[in-house]
Structure 1
Amino acid sequence: MSANPKKAVLYRIVSDDHICPFGIKSKDLLERKGFEIEDHHFTSRAETEAFMKEQGVETTPQTFIDGDRIGGFDELADYFDEETGKQTGTTYQPVIAVFATTFLMALAASWAVAGTLAPVTALVWFVGLNMCMLAILKLRDLFSFTNQFITYDLVGMRWVRYAYIYPFAEALAGIGMIAGVLSPLFGAIAFVIGSISAVSVIKAVYIDKRELKCACVGGGSNVPLGAISLTENLMMVVMGALMVVGLV
């Protein structure tokens, strides 16, 4: 360390009830930038409010460098020209995360069972695992999912109960694909719900030209309704049809 290290003063909440995550991130960023930190902890709400009133700020943490107040974590990241990692606007990140993870899981399961990469088996498991994971994301907040889903699904907007049934049907069909049992039944479920969703996406996005958020990863997501959603639906349709006719 140099004889005159860079110094920063950080004020953050560290109490028995709450440890501010942005305070931890501010401290980590300052350390990565080589700063010696004078770390002040607020252990009560009264201390925090007194500090905010004195400084004329509405949030903590607050960082000071060379006597100048930089601000909270977002302002500190801007100061160092760093990305915060916060998601803003539309993003495909949740869908990419699901597709990539389930693809690798399918390959791993295929290798574990067969001792080799069996392409057809891995593909079936990929679609099945993908459906199951997406169903889980929907089921964790079924109310929010249905609110988003019924704005574009052709059946859901006419029969709301279908929106509540859909994630369970998706999970059931996915589990059936993975298990490899009752293929005509589970394939038919995947084919029907996938077909309805595919037609709904085509109408909403490509015919009506509506800009909507996709409910595929659960309600409240910022994933745009469009090509990715349609691809997911078409995978269900194709795999369901193959299962019904006994080709997988």
Structure 2
Amino acid sequence: MDCSDAEQLASALRSNADYLLSGRIAEDDLEQRLVRICHGVVAALPGAKWAAMTIDTGAGLECHGATDDRVPALVEVMGRCGHGPCVDTLASATAEEIVVADLVEEQDRWPGFAPAAIAAGMRSVVCVAMAPDDHPAKSLSAWSDEPGAFADPWERTVMAAFVTQAAIAVYGAQRAAHLTRALATRDVIGRAKGILMERFSLGDDDAFGLLVRSSQDINMKLHDVAEFLCRDVETRAAHQGPPHE
């Protein structure tokens, strides 16, 4: 690795980070985040022509952020065959597990997948696992039409850096969505308490206790009870129309 390589990687990561944090991508649009990261991999990794993120959903493999339509097709092949570079990294369930392969030399290892990849014009692949606890395993992969394109150890450094950025984008977006849902739940419960406090002259704790007891009595989630109450009040108000003077 020389200084120009390091600066190229740093520049690509800075560009991606600025883009992901700039607001130009909607907070809940994870696919656009992954597309941006995969394009960054192609730009920063010598020899890389295409990149994608593969996710093991438990029901099968999904391909996201692909920079070329051939990669999702090859992920489907891996899913059917049950083997391939992404399958190997996903099965490891170990963060930063890396597979580097020349596909022509791996036809015995991946007899169903390797010939299909070669027919699609692929010759080399590098995959890195991203498998934090309590999350579906993911694999970031880069592909090339040149044999031995990822033999340099520098490729491992680049891929590890982008996996870290991908993890921040993926799990940061998921946590933000979870926080948004939690705040929305708290808001609707707060509005429901306000309705009960006004209607029955209750204090804050007593109004919340009434919501909890109602939830238990009718076997309905607290949030759903609160939402039903708020919606019922809004519906009644809409039917009554504006107050008469």
TM-score, normalised to structure 2, is: 0.28
TM-score, normalised to structure 1, is: 0.28
